[in-house]
Amino acid sequence: MTNADIIREHYAASDRGDIDGMLAPLADDVQWTEAAGFPYAGTYVGPDAVAANVFQRIQEEWDDYTLAIDEVVDGGVVVVGIGTYSGTYTLTGRFFAARVAHVWRLTDGRVTAFEQFTDTELVNRALRD
């Protein structure tokens, strides 16, 4: 399985709502960075921190939050996923859609680093009344 295949499997798990599957390729010391200005901005270390501070919060705070990946670019040890986030923030009932790029870094088939790039203003508009 190539690194790009590992990331495709992560995205397939995301499509199924399978958090365990999403966490499976992450190294124990993964550095997971959500973009500055994003509601869950910061760098989280380890799968448990990613699950608690990103995936769980998204499930709790959004309706129909989705990530539609259009392309996975295989750069070997660096893989890029390009797509669109969308969802409705439960507290405001406001919908958003924003393009996103994910940069994944892998070592020996394990994700050691992740960084998200997205238009955080489009996301944050949904959070405001």
Q: What is the pLDDT of residues 46-89, one digit of tens each?
A: 999 999 999 999 999 999 999 999 999 999 999 999 999 999 99
* pLDDT > 90? residue 129: no
Nearest to 126 by CA among 69, 62, 73, 55: 62
Domains belonging to the chain, first-starting first, are: 3-127 (3.10.450.50)
Mean pLDDT over residues 8-27, rounded?
97
* pLDDT > 80? residue 115: yes
Q: How many beta carbons lie within 10 A of that of residue 89, not counting itself?
A: 20
Partners of 117 in the beta sheet? 101
What pLDDT, on a 0 to 100 scale, did the predictor assign at position 76?
97
Distances (CA, A) of 116 to 20, 83, 113: 20, 11, 10
* pLDDT > 80? residue 44: yes
Mean pLDDT over residues 12-30, rounded?
97
* pLDDT > 80? residue 112: yes
- SS3 sequence of 34-56: ECCCCCCCEEEECHHHHHHHHHH
